[in-house]
Amino acid sequence: MTAANISALVEVRPHRSRTSARSVTIAGTQWPVYKLHALLAAVIVGVLALAITGSAQTVAWASGVALLTVWWTERFWQAHRSH
């Protein structure tokens, strides 16, 4: 019986530079700006939803949708802008 060669399962991909992405340093780690925009949008929408409805479930859904929408929209826009 032979053992599986784990190194044969690893796919090597060439490193793609993302120098065009704007980023900021937070606690020693580079964060893309679109992530901060998404978090800020989620907080703002969450506070507004709480003030309007008073429902935690509505806050969770609204802030989650806002976060994902901003995150993926800016990421998509940034990726296509750099080409």
Whole-structure pTM value:
0.68
- At residue 1, does pLDDT exceed 70? no
Over residues 13-17, mean pLDDT: 55
> In this model, does residue 15 exceed pLDDT 60?
no
Cβ atoms within 10 Å of 75's Cβ, excluding its own: 15
Give the pLDDT of residue 53. Answer: 95
* Tokens 């409805």 belong to residue: 53
Please report the pLDDT score of residue 79 as a whole number: 79
Q: Tens digit of pLDDT for each residue in 28-62?
A: 888 889 999 999 999 999 999 999 999 999 999 99
